[in-house]
Structure 1
Amino acid sequence: MTSVGLKVSEITRLTPPHASCATEGKIENLYQTRYGVIYEKATCTKTCQQNIWKEKCGCVVPLYEKPENSSMCDCLNNEEEACLWEQMDQMQECELMCPNSCFEKKFEPLISMGTWPSKHYEDYLDYKIKHSSLDFMGDDGIDSDENLAKLEVYFREMMYETIEQQKAYESQNLISDVGGQLGLWLGLSAVTIGEMFEFIMAIFKAVTAKAVRRRNRETAVESLEDCSRRLSLQEFK
């Protein structure tokens, strides 16, 4: 028995100029052309690899969709096998030809296997099959554990994951930040000018007050000296 648990993920990527996703590859995608499926990087990469093998090695592998006017590589041919492995190291070109798709739905499988049917269930299953209207097993004498296969496909989680790219810094954010910085520096400039003017006025007042006090002291000294001279003259007379 084979059990396949699926986890669904939806990925939404930003379009240029914010990211490099695309709805089409730079080459003809055989899977899109023949089966009408949506663009995916994986199918585009497989097509690209087949095109490279066809051009460099003169044959393609049977694992992927077969391009037109091409032949399958012979796994017993050492030259063709060596060419296939050599070109595997030159597949960076396919990364440029096949960008990420703007929308992608991924199914991540978790595969587990076990023996089926169990020993306790095998006899009952054999009896049930032999007494049913289904005679596909016939009288071949093969037990159900060697004649049947069971496949279970289920969702690992009842929720699916959504991944979405978002713009980190948009134009309105730039305008807002520039306006905020401009207002901040203009405000600081006005405050600085006011504080400088206040500082200059304080210095002017301090200097003026000091000069006035000095002048008053000099006037007072002169008055005292004049008064002293007058008193001296009166006493002399």
Structure 2
Amino acid sequence: NNGFKLAAKTQASIAFTRVARTRSPAPYDNCTKVGQMGADDYYSNFTYVYNSCQSSCLQRLAVKFCGCVDPIYLKADDQTYCSTKADMLCLVNLPSKVSEANAENGQHVCDCHPPCVEEAFEMTVTYGVYPSGK
């Protein structure tokens, strides 16, 4: 997802730039503070990131609608991973159920917001021919 490809007979220079973002909490902005994830979140023992919130929400919805959880995400000890063809079909149809629920009540089922404090590394890759021919 965050990688890059390097063809044969090429060289690459990779530069990373640290980017720190700070967002203001309510009432100025809608961000999630560190430690604000609930105990029912699958990733509550980890640093909050938006994608983890989304994954936790999808697992809760999978339990509600499918009776099992997606095997690519974390699960609670008392839950089982989806394994049958019917289970997988249910998981595939979850996004449409989320969209229907969002349209029905006008609110987002997965109430996830960006973190109030976030640090990321942006990557710049430049390529050249190797050997250079000189």
Question: Which residue number in structure 1 is paired with residue 42 of structure 2?
Answer: 30
More helix by share: 1
How big is each residue's C-alpha offset from its partner over 1:142-201, in whole Å with a ceiling of 9 and x where there is no partner?
xxxxxxxxxxxxxxxxxxxxxxxxxxxxxxxxxxxxxxxxxxxxxxxxxxxxxxxxxxxx
2:77 aligned with 1:68, yes or no?
A: yes
Q: Distance in 2 between matches of 1:19 and 1:47?
A: 22
Q: Give the aligned partner of residue 21 of structure 1.
A: 31
Matched, 1:83 2:83: no
Q: Does residue 10 in structure 1 map to residue 20 in structure 2?
A: yes
Amino acid in the other structure paired with 2:121: F
Higher Rg of the two aligned structures:
1
State the 4+ residue runs in structure 1 displaced beyond 4 angstroms: 108-111
Distance 1:78 1:19 in 2: 42
Q: Given that residues 66 and 91 in structure 2 are in contact (C-alpha distance below 8 angstroms), is that contact kept between their aligned partners in structure 1?
A: yes
The one-letter amino acid paired with 1:45 is: Q
The aligned counterpart of 1:52 is 61
Paired letter, 1:28: D
Shift of the 7–50 alpha-carbon distance from structure 1 to 2, 3 Å rule, reads farther
* Residue 31 of structure 1, CA deviation: 2.1
With normalisation by structure 2, the TM-score equals 0.62
Unaligned runs of 5+ in 2: 7-11, 100-107, 126-134
| Mapped partners of 2:121, 2:88: distance in 1 | 32
Query: 2-side partners of 1:28 and 1:78: how far apart?
Result: 27
Indicate yes or no: 2:109 matched with 1:93. yes
- 8 Å CA contact 1:53, 1:87 repeated in 2: yes
C-alpha distance in 2 between matches for 1:7 and 1:21: 23
- Matches of 2:118 and 2:43, distance apart in 1: 16
Aligned residues between the structures: 105
Instruction: Name which structure has the greater RCO, CA cutoff 8 Å, separation 6+.
Output: 2
Q: Which amino acid aligns with 1:78?
A: K
